[in-house]
Structure 1
């Protein structure tokens, strides 16, 4: 009912779900996006694909804890992530291979994920099996489509807001190019940085 009511008000519904059962209930309820999706099942991957449900993996969340969390967070949280991070990447890889729609998310503001590290999620998506194009699409048009603003944002087209980066290297060759520290950032066609 919550999903139906939100959709009747033209709202997007995203579910924070890591475990298999939570993901299943969220997908069956018709959410627009699952955030994380650690243990998404094969059946739910198919259902997500049929329904057009997005996955916003936030791989950087698991990665940062497993790499930098020892001694900086509770031992329980650190060990839990270390035990599950490989499965997380494997399940996201299955989602990518199946062609489920992707949006970009990072859990920014949580452990070792300041907002300025958002571009690192692209590298992690590629590590999980996405092509450079798929990762970039998730960050642009995929996220705009999930938020139902793709008629104005998400791609460089006539009539849309021109939000883009100017980079030294081609991110289609190496997606980490987006992490360039001195990149030029344009919002609505005006340079901001």
Structure 2
């Protein structure tokens, strides 16, 4: 009952604004007419909305489980290997997925293998213990009511840069002004704890 109440409050105060901001900011980074693959897509609704921001975009998703209601074509995968050939799609996206994995490097490298033009990532930055504690609280409120596994695997910017370099991805954009929360919530839960990055395979 408590988790359900928390989930309802989160949706009312945060979720709808979060969707709007992510759709606008990620959609603006998506090349028009792209074949887009969303990893860890859930029901695919946000991915569909992101794709709709650019004309001619085709969107598909992969996830470790398939939900009863889905808004885009979704293929099951094992959580580590993207079931596609090299350079199979234009863009691979991750929206708050990689901090739920044990080793983000694996999927980042897989995305670099599969993407022809870009990899777009929305995730978190944790530079201090306070950052980590804040992100844990946010993650629990947003995901525990839905039964999502929460490893709380947050990382500082230097780790992300290292993962990108190892995957041969060059950073085109790294945005930390992601206004997911209204004031005064933004004073606690904003603080550059969120980023959106657009990365280009160096072989592209």
Q: Same fold (TM over 0.5)?
A: no
With structure 1 as the length reference, what TM-score do the two structures score? 0.34
Q: Which has the higher helix share?
A: 1
Q: Relative contact order (C-alpha < 8 Å, sep 6+): which is higher?
A: 2
With structure 2 as the length reference, what TM-score do the two structures score? 0.33
